[in-house]
Amino acid sequence: MEEREETRKIQFTGKSSYIVSLPKQWVMDLGLKQGDQIRMRRKDSSTLEIYPPKFETRSQKKEDATIEIDDEETASIVRKLISLYFLGYKTINIKPKTGRLSPNQRNTVKEAVKRMLMGSEIISDSSGGITVQVLVNLLELSVDGAFKRMIHLAKSMSNDAILAMRENNLELAQEVINTDDEVDRFGFYIIRQLKIAIQNEHMLKEMGFRNARDCLGYRLVVKNIERTGDHAAFIAKDVLEFKKPVKKEIVEKIEEMNEFALSVLDDACLALFKEDYVQAEKTIEKTNEIIKYEKRVRDASKSLKDDEEIYRIRRMTENIRRISEYSSDIAEIVLNMNIEKSLKKIA
């Protein structure tokens, strides 16, 4: 929202009180009424900030939603549930249009809440309907905190997938695949919080964003991190599918390539957190070096005779290269978010 400066008179009332009226549009936008309390904070000797009530109360407009589902609906229930979670509803009711929920429908909802919707719990479960409540508080898990955890998980998945390949460890490979759900849960949570922030300027500032455009940037970054986790899971699935080790000299080159790809991801995310335009540019240039590491893997694979094994190595290097490319995409987003700041420095 565009910042506007207004001038208002200080008035004296009673015997000792000074008052200043609030802009009517500001009060209406936040859904406030006579008798509501506002918060004030003195920043320094000459600045006084005014805030609406905590957003957990009146500023949260969306509270309850109800989904009515048909007898044969299953997969679409999850899509509807996620959409309402994104929109910021605190309580979501799933009810049958007629009759009752089938055991399969109930299990689908319960599994989706457990695997995908962070901070959500089922508070009522019967054949007549299920009630999901979102309990997590914005102040308990910030967007930055969730985002850093998401990055950490995606990187761990990539490292563990390569380790599973080195050791031909099927259990570790399966764990990598399972962790992909956890990465998605953090992603869904962040998207939910970003959507809520866009709808309320005060919450936007509370989350540390300068404007709604930054929220869009973070939304795109989240998608790239999710895809990073997906490609780590693809490598792990390859281990489970082939169930045989890769030659040591090839593994070593793949490990070097993966280590480089994750270093690019680190650089891109550092540029994001520091809002560093120059760092983002360097990260994009660095991404081009992935070709050098990919060539080393190919050279180490020249002795292979089995076409299936050659294809397997090629597929793994493709997944690692994609991780590097997603890191470059994140750096591009950082450039777009901070270009104006860069222009001000030049001016």
Tell me, yes or no, if the two domains 64-134 and 143-346 fold the same way. no
CB 250 within 8 A of CB 300: yes
Could you tell me the CATH superfamily of domain 143-346?
Phosphate transport system protein phou homolog 2; domain 2 (1.20.58.220)
CATH of 64-134, one of 1.10.3470.10, 3.30.365.10, 3.30.110.20, 3.40.50.11440: 3.30.110.20
The more confidently predicted of residues 239 and 50 is 239
Task: List Cα–Cα distances, 271 to 86, 217, 267, 283, in angstroms.
Answer: 27, 13, 6, 8
What percent of the chain is modeled with pLDDT above 90?
Answer: 45
CB 58 within 8 A of CB 36: yes
- pLDDT score at 2: 46
Whether the pLDDT of residue 152 is over 80: the answer is yes
Per-domain residue ranges for the chain?
11-51, 64-134, 143-346
The more confidently predicted of residues 38 and 234 is 234
At 231-267, the pLDDT tens digits run 999 999 999 998 888 899 999 999 999 999 999 999 9
Show Cβ contacts of residue 220 under 8 Å, excluding neighbours closer than 6 positions.
329, 333
CB 324 within 8 A of CB 158: no
The more confidently predicted of residues 201 and 120 is 120
Q: What is the DSSP letter of 272?
A: H
With 0.85 as the threshold, say if the pTM is over it.
no
For residues 129-142, give the mean pLDDT: 76
